[in-house]
Amino acid sequence: MDEFLTRVEVNKRKHENYLNGDKYSVLMLGLDSVSRSMSKRSLSKTVKYIIEDLGAFDFKAYMKVGDNTYPNLIALLTGKFAYDESELPWSVCTQIPCDHLPLIWKNFSQKGYVTMYAEDRPSLNTFVHFKNGFVNQPTDHYLRPFWLAAEPEQKLEKQILHNVMEHMPAAVNVNKLVSKCLGNISKVVIQLNYLQQFIRSYKRMPSFSFTYFTDIAHENINDLNAVDDDLVSFFKWLKDDGHLDDTIVIFFADHGPRAGQNVHSLRMENSLPLLNILLPKTLKEKFPNVAINMEENQRRLTSTFDLHATLRNILDADYEHPSSFKVGNKERGTSLFGDIPRKRSCSDANIPDHYCVCYRVTPVNSTSDTMVPKISEAIVEKINSYLKSSPDCALLSLSKIIDVRKMSEALTLDHVVRKYFWSIGYVIPQDSDTFSRYTAVIETKPGLAQFYASINIDSKENIVTSILLL
């Protein structure tokens, strides 16, 4: 039944366009809020299979460049910073439709690729959540109409479950219980079935598919394990049906978890999302330099912009000369098929300081350090600057300071650890004489909410920037 509802109607205009030369299909399979280490813990079967059996490249120092899904997927699909007035102003997709975004699947379509975009949970869709969505269908195949049609049934199921569970413990979260299935079928399975139909329909033809799963781990990272078998089965099907012979598979996440108990381990997890890439055997054999570079790049500092550069590389089918791309006069990203610099900083990779994990942190005594009151005051002031535009919200005040840490350059460590950081490319800008950097966790009232922030302070002890992670 679910295959009939999500049936792929073949695009006849592109149906006679076959893969040839160095052209490969692209399959992008994305998970919301999954770090690399989370994938090792909760998708152990999937990760083990694609790395050990299929030979996927596992990028250990791949960092995000934005806070949540939208800015990271914008960086991936456009190579630009979201909300940057000189690149993609705030008005794009918030005040005007998202059709104006220069999404890379448009470039693939222009080169004869059939395109597909599928994302579950329509209310939290990347281009709809606080955004204006698309006026025109963005790709040749688009699953959103199906998910919108399925919403009334999900609402009915939710109401029935509410009625059944009236006398159950209040701790049971009905919303989370019903969000994973449609009827008795997992939403993950439904969307994977749709992707399989798409792949089968265009076998041996150039295709670009972007399939994104929000519901799996967005609210509860413990639910991730439940889809491990489904994902393993899908990857085994790709192999057994011969699709890996002519398809580059990118298994990725936008960022890691954004909520948790230990804010410092969370900072690492949040900034280091999952990225595994599978290359066809023919590509590795014809262009051995690509496989050699990918092997090295697994252990080097990379970013979402480098993954975008890789998509550009695939689009141009120039594997002999992998390249980088610039925005303005500055290099923005380097193809993962090329030689990522061994000595590379977060600044070089265009990773904002707030998301850079190439620092060591030292606890600060919150009662004796004179900067701590200034830091906490700046954070509260920043939060209230957002709340002032909402008359129904109470302005906040400081309840308590939970933790403050000073950030310093990792390369000031002893020579053994220094050598390790150099080996994986964790090299950071030498600007500690200009700014002091801190991270802080505070609690505010009313509400007793906790906020995490990174703060830059200049040599005159002025707060230069403060970036919040709520």
Q: Which residue type, as a one-letter code, is found at position 73?
A: L
pLDDT of residue 431: 45
Beta strands in 69-136 (DSSP E): 114-119
Q: Per-residue pLDDT tens for 411-467?
A: 444 444 444 333 333 333 444 456 788 888 899 999 988 888 888 888 778 887 666
Q: Which of 99, 168, 164, 102 has its CA nearest to residue 132?
A: 99
Distances (CA, A) of 191 to 118, 136, 216: 7, 21, 12
Give every strand in the sheet of 141-142, ordered side by side.
57-58, 275-278, 247-253, 25-31, 207-213, 114-119, 141-142
Predicted pLDDT of residue 261: 53
Helix (H, G, I), strand (E, B) or coil at 179: coil
Nearest to 87 by CA among 308, 346, 338: 308
Q: Which residue has the tokens 């204006």?
A: 132
Cβ(217)–Cβ(257) below 8 Å: yes
Burial of 465 per CB tally in 10 Å (0-12, 13-18, 19+): middle
Which pLDDT score is estimated for 421?
38
Q: Are 246 and 207 in contact (CB under 8 A)?
A: no
Question: Residues 265, 38: contact at Cβ < 8 Å?
Answer: no
Q: Could you give the domains of the chain?
A: 2-355 (3.40.720.10), 359-469 (3.10.450)
CA separation for the pair 98, 222 (Å, rounded):
33
- pLDDT at residue 411, as a whole number: 45
What is the value of pTM for the model shown?
0.85
CA distance 253 to 64: 9
Are 349 and 425 spatial neighbours (Cβ–Cβ below 8 Å)? no
Q: How far is CA 120 from CA 125, 128, 148, 345, in A?
A: 7, 12, 10, 35
Q: For every one of its 470 residues, what pLDDT tens digit does the chain have, with 9 covering 90 and above?
A: 455 455 677 776 665 677 888 999 999 999 999 999 999 999 999 999 999 999 999 999 999 999 899 999 999 999 999 988 889 988 899 999 999 999 999 999 999 999 999 999 888 899 999 999 999 999 999 999 999 998 765 555 555 545 544 555 554 554 444 467 887 888 999 999 999 999 999 999 999 999 999 988 877 778 899 999 999 999 999 999 999 999 999 999 999 887 655 556 677 888 999 999 999 999 999 999 999 999 999 999 999 999 999 999 999 999 999 989 999 889 999 999 999 999 898 989 999 888 888 877 788 888 888 889 999 999 999 899 989 888 888 999 999 999 898 887 654 444 444 443 333 333 334 444 567 888 888 999 999 888 888 888 887 788 876 666 65
pLDDT value for 429: 40
**Tokens matching residue 275:** 């990225």
At 15, the amino acid letter reads: H
